[in-house]
Amino acid sequence: MKLKDRVAVVTGAADGIGLATVRRLSEEGAVVVMCDIAHAQLGEEWAKLDQIGRRVACFPLDVTCRPDIDSMVGDVCERFGRIDILINNAGITQDARLVKMTDQQFDAVMNVNLKGVFNCTQAVVDVMLKQRRGVVLNASSIVGVYGNFGQSNYSASKFGVVGLTKSWAREFGPMGIRVNAVCPGFIGTTSLLKIPEDGLAKMRSSCWQRRLGLPDEVANVYAFLASDDASFINGAAIEVSGGMTL
């Protein structure tokens, strides 16, 4: 159990990659704090994990609301005494071509995907600095590296996440805190699978393995990067795309 007794906070934890990551970290012995704005779904998933004996807690959380984040961090530290791992997984899409994209669509995606990462990390890093130890893992995307038609807001937000990651790795590496990003390709989450079949077929064909990725395959990378096995990996943006960009 590579993460035994580590305390991990995961945002966007009620579904998809976030939920898979919660399960994977808990399998490795971590105490996992599940955070999500989807209160009802979060509670349902927490109850399932609690019932099978996993050490999990849940906090309804909007990553755009700094007072709520500060309150969550205070509660976690009071209850568990530390925060060892932060996984900034929360994210949204509001796709449109540039000529049709509204200010609301652009700002909403930026506020969650980029400012949310800033908010949560700034709130948690003070705890890690006192510990002289910690791991921050940020959800970017293959789209954040190479762009995508109709996703200029999402692409910009995820490109920005890589910039935050590399800057923070420089700032905090000397203090024992590693910061890395994960860049998934097309992953078969509940939301993605709502796309019409012809769209899914194009996604599969863009990957050299001719399939969508699984949430568990991304969660495995998060678990590795959170562990001491990745102790010399800092400032990296790791693609999990099945060779999509080859």
Confirm whether 222 is a catalytic residue.
Answer: no
SS3 label, residue 61: coil
CB 26 within 8 A of CB 49: yes
Say how far apart CA 203 and CA 195 lie, in whole Å. 10
Burial bucket for residue 81 (CB in 10 Å: 0-12, 13-18, 19+): exposed
Say how far apart CA 184 and CA 137 lie, in whole Å. 13
Phi and psi dihedrals of 58, rounded to 5? -130, 140
- The helix (run of H) or strand (run of E) holding residue 32 is strand 31-36
For residue 239, give both structure tokens: 């693609």
Q: Which of 46, 106, 154, 168 is catalytic?
A: 154
- The helix (run of H) or strand (run of E) holding residue 78 is helix 66-80
Q: Name the residue type at position 163.
A: G
Positions marked catalytic? 154
